[in-house]
Amino acid sequence: MPQLASQAEQHTATTTPVAEPTADATPTAVAATSSAPIKTSAPQASDLASLDTRISSPLFNAAQNVAAAQQCDRTIHVSTVDGGHTQFYTQCYGDHPPLHIDCDGVHCVPQS
């Protein structure tokens, strides 16, 4: 067993001293939402739903699906956003009037 003892002595760990914190060192807090987009109810520069930060992806997709089902342009525009209630509009092909889409949450229906 003397061989094992000599191997253990060869592989002894060395420690590096850790600097003690100074008295004036204070921890800094990072806001949890500092990099997350903030959804506000302020009007956007463009009325395109795809560019509006108030419109979530599931809501946008639901409104686009209604536009496609009505055979209208899938480029949708935001009319109003009021909490969970959102209204969109889009152009339809031919002589059809614009389609208005009413959404509560992600449940969207065409308006007549």
Model pTM score: 0.59
Cβ atoms within 10 A of the Cβ of 73, count?
16
Kindly report, residue by residue over 45-75, the tens digit of the pLDDT: 679 999 999 999 999 999 999 999 999 998 9
SS3 4: helix
Q: Which of 45, 76, 46, 71 is nearest to 60 (CA)?
A: 76
Out of 3-7, 10-14, 101-105, the most confident range is 101-105
Domain ranges of the chain: 45-112
Residue 44 pLDDT: 58
Is the pLDDT confidence value at 94 over 70? yes
Q: How confident is the model at residue 31 (pLDDT cuts 50, 70, 90)?
A: very low
